[in-house]
Amino acid sequence: MNQMKAFHIDMHDVHGIDLHRIDLNLLVALDALIRQRSVTKAAQRTGVSQSAMSHTLRRLRDLVGDPLLVRAKGGMQLTPRAEALATPLRSGLLALERALAEPEAFDASRSTRTFRLCSPDAYDLLTMPALLARLRRDAPAVSVAVLPTPSALEGALESGDLDVAVVPVQLSARALPKSAADDRSAATEPAEPVGESPPADLVQRTLLRDSLCCYLRVAHPALGHSGRLSLTRYCSLAHVLVSPRGEGPGVVDVALAERDRQRRVAVRVPSFATALDIAASSDLVLTAPRSLQRLASARGLVCCAAPLALPRHAVTMLWHARFSEDPAHRWFRQQLLDTSNRR
């Protein structure tokens, strides 16, 4: 390079020197002068002219209050002050270079990192077995901690206490007629998110899109030969509702209320795993994500279309923008994305 660009350190006074007034290139030049013990060679090493390096040496002498390099038989010699500065100066510049360098590539096969996420149990049921199988194959020492969703989600993501949050996002659904024909399934795409967007500092990526259907045990008397439920029959049955907080209406209850209908919720449970087991061993109806169909079938449940329009939903991944380019973080997000796409 032809000349050194100014690079100032913005720090408070340390040991009597006002660091925010120091041009970092002075320290780079001092390191070159100490190592080369020659103004000419130091100038060549840093890519400046000899006169510029001579001027820099004068500035350094004024700054430190010491000659630093003096003429002697056989060339320039370091003063005791310069010798004392040599090792800490070189160490400090190397540490700064490493801090500013490109981050090292993340080696999943050797990493022992624990990634922390919060996610709904339906997502865990769908993807966690496949994710763990992938980790056993590609990253055997990496572990995953699934934590409860914190009340201050944004803060947990910003601090790194949580790497990723997997959250459901309700999508709008095209309204269907409020008639006897409304035993059709929910609306199709396109659909847009309903509710507030995530804070600006959080990045969002959709993992999967899903809809709701009804699950009943194979020999449920309400199914009959058609394998379908009318809206009237649906409302007459007892239901199991997944309600993590244990109170409030579900999305089905809101949709029914818009049609002046209601259902009887016989039991509320906090997880879809429990709800599937209850529906499989009783005559209760479970309205749940269609993506659970394979797990439901293994429990002896059949899936049929919901007899009213219900909003679709997406499952999205959230993380803080400051971790977007972190190699390990990017790797883990890609594992979640790949696993979700191959569910």
- pLDDT tens, residue by residue, 28-85: 999 999 989 999 999 999 899 999 999 999 998 988 889 999 988 878 899 999 999 8
Q: What would the pLDDT profile of 257-266 be if each residue is shown by its tens digit?
A: 999 999 999 9
Antiparallel, parallel or unpaired: β 212-217 and 285-289 = antiparallel
Given strand 202-210, what is the order of strands in its sheet? Answer: 143-146, 114-118, 164-170, 313-320, 202-210
Rg (CA), the chain: 33
Q: By mean pLDDT, which of 138-152, 160-174, 305-319 is the weakest?
A: 160-174
Provide the pLDDT for residue 276: 97
- pLDDT: is 31 or 105 the higher one? 31
A 10 A CB-CB count for 104 gives 9
Q: Is the pLDDT of residue 86 over 80?
A: yes
Instruction: Give the model's confidence band at 189: pLDDT under 50 very low, under 70 low, under 90 confident, else very high.
Output: very low
Kindly report, residue by residue over 269-278, the tens digit of the pLDDT.
999 999 999 9
Task: Give the pLDDT score at 315.
Answer: 94
Give me the domain span that covers residue 53.
19-100
Span 136-162, mean pLDDT? 92
Residue 89 included in any domain: yes
What pLDDT, on a 0 to 100 scale, did the predictor assign at position 343? 61
Residue 80 covered by a domain: yes
pTM over cut 0.75 = no
pLDDT-derived band of residue 172, with 50, 70 and 90 as boundaries? low
Report how many domains make up the chain.
Answer: 1
Phi, psi of 231 (to 5 degrees): -65, -40
pLDDT interval class at 109 (50, 70, 90): very high
Contact 312, 211 (CB under 8 A): yes
In-domain check, residue 50: yes
Residue 61 lies in a domain: yes
Q: Which two tokens stand for residue 343?
A: 């569910």
Position 18 confidence tier, pLDDT thresholds 50, 70, 90: low
Distance from C-alpha of 216 to C-alpha of 222, rounded to nearest angstrom: 9
Higher pLDDT, 16 or 279: 279
- pLDDT recorded at residue 92: 85
- Tens of pLDDT, residues 216-273: 999 898 887 777 899 999 999 999 999 988 788 899 999 999 999 999 999 999 999 9
By three-state DSSP, how is residue 67 classified? coil
Domain-embedded: residue 171: no
What CATH number does the domain containing 76 carry? 1.10.10.10
For residue 31, is it within any domain? yes
26 belongs to a structural domain: yes
Establish if 264 belongs to a structural domain.
no
